[in-house]
Amino acid sequence: MTTTHELQITEWLASQRQPMIDLLRDVVNIDSGSYDKEGVDAVAARFERHFAEHGIESWREPHEVYGDALHAQIAKPGSNEKPILLMGHRDTVFPKGEAARRPFTIEGTKAHGPGIADMKAGLVINVFVAAALQKFGVAPFPIRILITADEEIASPSSRPIIEREGRAARAVYNSEPGRPTGNICTSRKGGVFMRFEVFGRAAHSGNNFADGISAIGELAHKIVAIHALTDIARGITLNVGLVQGGQSINTTAPHAEGQIDLRYVEPADRATTLAAIERIMATPTVSGTTAKLHLNGEFLPLMQSPSSKALFDIYRGAAGDAGLPTLTGEFAGGCADSGFTASVGTPTLCGLGPVGGNVHTAQEWLDLDSIVPRATTLALAILRTEVG
């Protein structure tokens, strides 16, 4: 049954469809690649303006290299209750200039632009839900909002912040894009991103071929061995997606390197697969080569705990009252920051943003008709949250 407070929130969010689209246009049209600190922080500034307009306290946690972490809160004076955390990232995978090349556009009920689904639209519904709770003063618990800056590169600066805020929260709602089916995400793979170097010896490939030791030759053997660790049935995949090496066409390669993407489902598979990769690094096929493995970053898996299942049941009920079809929780092979909060033991849901698809491509799209229903569902779920 919808309460008076829920009806107030629902009606107000329905009236905010165009302001949500306007804010989405503003932030999509700002380049914010993960390594573009200036651009990522410009997006933060636009959200700061939104918070100020709605009387919501906000502040930054600065970083010298990556974008600042942006925090906001709706406090309950005198309350010592754990807050609900609304979370998301504002960085994208696209290079500087992408927003000018293909700015925010609308075609029918779909909108396009870099990062529109992943995940600037999710941030927009987070901040409008926060504005609704602030406007009507009906938040059941303190509300914290965290907008991070480097998720697309495994959150090197944000992970400690996410884990800290996650530990302090009673529940976490992460508004990554809704699945193209309209469902949300209740579990995700973990991921480890690595770089490996192979060292050989240079020699003229005509005059002194026998003196050379090819790092590229060894790299090729290691790639085959790494890919052979893939076990589709267990959800373990390995992909060497980037390679480089060599000095010149007529020189035996003294150095080569590759970058590895490992995805897994069960936490135990992370350790066993990394051990297998270490053995590959330590075992040369081309005599005289050596190798070194570097860990670039990683995501932890999102696994559904009993408390997260309870949170999902609350969200699913809210979705029904917001007019959405019956939702189910989906498993995703992609990683997200939600794995960090789930791994510290906090009930976590992911994929709560508006529905979109083709993320990380020039064909990325967002269903504009999903913005208000998904915002309404999130707000109702927050009003009904009890776990934590």
Q: Hunting for tokens 């579990």 — which residue is that?
A: 187
Per-residue confidence at 76, pLDDT binned at 50, 70, 90? Answer: confident
* Residue type at position 17: R
Closest CA to 150 of 75, 76, 89: 89
The two beta strands, 237-245 and 255-264, are: antiparallel
Q: Hunting for tokens 């639209």 — which residue is that?
A: 121
pLDDT at 281: 98
Percent of the chain with pLDDT over 70: 99
Task: Provide the angle, in degrees to the nearest 10, between the axes of the packed helices 37-53 and 121-136.
Answer: 20
DSSP 8-state code for residue 119:
I
Asked whether the predicted pLDDT for residue 168 surpasses 90, the reply is: yes
CA distance 52 to 348: 28
pLDDT at 388: 58
Is 76 strand, coil or helix?
A: coil
Q: With 0-12 CB in 10 A as exposed, 13-18 as middle and 19+ as buried, what is 53? A: exposed
* 364-374 pLDDT tens trace: 999 999 999 99
pLDDT at 378: 98
Asked whether the predicted pLDDT for residue 1 surpasses 60, the reply is: no
DSSP 8-state code for residue 67:
P
Closest CA to 302 of 263, 349, 269: 349
pLDDT at 80: 80
* 32-42 pLDDT tens trace: 999 999 999 99
Domains of the chain: 4-188+301-384 (3.40.630.10), 190-299 (3.30.70.360)
Q: With 0-12 CB in 10 A as exposed, 13-18 as middle and 19+ as buried, what is 273? A: buried
* 225-269 pLDDT tens trace: 999 999 999 999 999 999 999 999 999 999 999 999 999 999 999
Asked whether the predicted pLDDT for residue 195 surpasses 80, the reply is: yes
* Residue type at position 40: V
- Does pTM top 0.85 for this prediction? yes
CA distance 178 to 324: 12
What's the token pair of residue 81? 């209750």
Tell me the average pLDDT across 7-15: 97
* 278-312 pLDDT tens trace: 999 999 999 999 999 999 999 999 999 999 999 99
Q: Is 137 left (phi over 0), alpha (psi -120 to 50) or beta?
A: left
CA distance 314 to 319: 9
Percent of the chain with pLDDT over 90: 95
Tell me how many degrees the CA angle 170-175-181 measures, rounded to the nearest 5.
125
Tell me how many degrees the CA angle 332-98-37 measures, rounded to the nearest 5.
80
pLDDT at 88: 98
What's the token pair of residue 248? 């010149």
Asked whether the predicted pLDDT for residue 185 surpasses 60, the reply is: yes
Q: How many helices (H) and strands (E) does the chain have?
A: 11, 16
Per-residue confidence at 319, pLDDT binned at 50, 70, 90? Answer: very high
Mean of per-residue pLDDT scores for the chain:
96
Tell me the average pLDDT across 179-205: 96
Per-residue confidence at 201, pLDDT binned at 50, 70, 90? Answer: very high
